[in-house]
Amino acid sequence: MKSLFQQETRRSQHELAEEKQKDYRNVVIAQITIVTLGLTLYSPLLEDNQSETSRLLITLFSGFALVYAFLLWDLLRNFVANRLIVRGTLGVLVCISILGLMLEFPYYRILDTGNRQFSLLIIHGLLFPIEVMVIAFAIRDIFLGQYFTPDKLWGSACVFLMIGITFGSLYDLICIISPGSLGVSIDLGIPNYAECVSYSFHILGGIDTDYPEASKLIKNISVIEAVWGNLFTVLIIGKLMILPKPPVTN
């Protein structure tokens, strides 16, 4: 009876690990798609964000952002059993998505609040803590457990990419509060956000940025991002190298 119970427990844990692996993989695919498209296609947004090409790109990026937000929530469900937190997070993401679409839909401005800067501040001010929360739970999940499993590998890639995107959100939040903090004037919204994410991945990858005149605050946070990114890489490599593979069960 005890052996049967142990087998059922192991099976349940294996199913949970597979579910997390799938969710991690989906988030990583979305992250790679968003970052790749953002880094290669956002130039027209900086030149003229009202052109037909820019409007099409804004629509495309907005669609991927909605998918990414849902995947983050789906990933969060693996870590949190409290239904209030899960449903509350979903509610916040839905509200953010609706407000963002109403403010940023490029072909027709559905909502005009009269203070677009404040509206963007609300959106990113709510989104940033959710991103940080998911990162915290994911890191905790990666470093827990006694065995090396594929979900930990996908989780490591997910967290690393999420660090770049989340710091990009933080830089964008700073630019919303203090426009021009990157050292140049960029239209707030998706154009500025895309440039902030690009700046973030330059920092994370150890590549020189195009904004030497960025504010002191952004430069200091850039140092924190660079150190944190390198530290996470070192810690995760050390952790995964010492973990044995799980025993094979019939």
Q: How confident is the model at residue 229, as a pLDDT?
A: 87
pTM of the model: 0.85
pLDDT in tens, 187-196: 888 888 888 8
pLDDT in tens, 2-53: 443 343 344 466 677 788 888 889 899 988 988 888 788 878 877 777 778 8
Residues in the chain: 250
User: How many C-beta atoms lie closer than 10 Å to residue 95's C-beta?
Assistant: 13
Is 247 domain-assigned? no
The segments of the chain whose pLDDT lies below 50 read 1-11
Q: How confident is the model at residue 168, as a pLDDT?
A: 92
Of residues 209, 214, 206, the one with CA closest to residue 198: 209
Q: How confident is the model at residue 243, as a pLDDT?
A: 63
Q: How confident is the model at residue 129, as a pLDDT?
A: 92
CB of 136 closer than 8 Å to CB of 76: no
Q: How confident is the model at residue 45, as a pLDDT?
A: 76
- The CA dihedral of 235, 239, 242, 244, to the nearest 10 degrees, is -160
Q: How confident is the model at residue 10, as a pLDDT?
A: 47
Is 5 domain-assigned? no
Is 2 domain-assigned? no
Q: Give me 49's structure tokens.
A: 């964000």
Is 37 domain-assigned? yes
Is 4 domain-assigned? no
- For residue 194, give its domain range: 19-242
Q: How many Å apart are CA 223 and CA 229, to the nearest integer?
A: 10
Is 143 domain-assigned? yes
Counted domains in the chain: 1
Is 249 domain-assigned? no
Is 248 domain-assigned? no
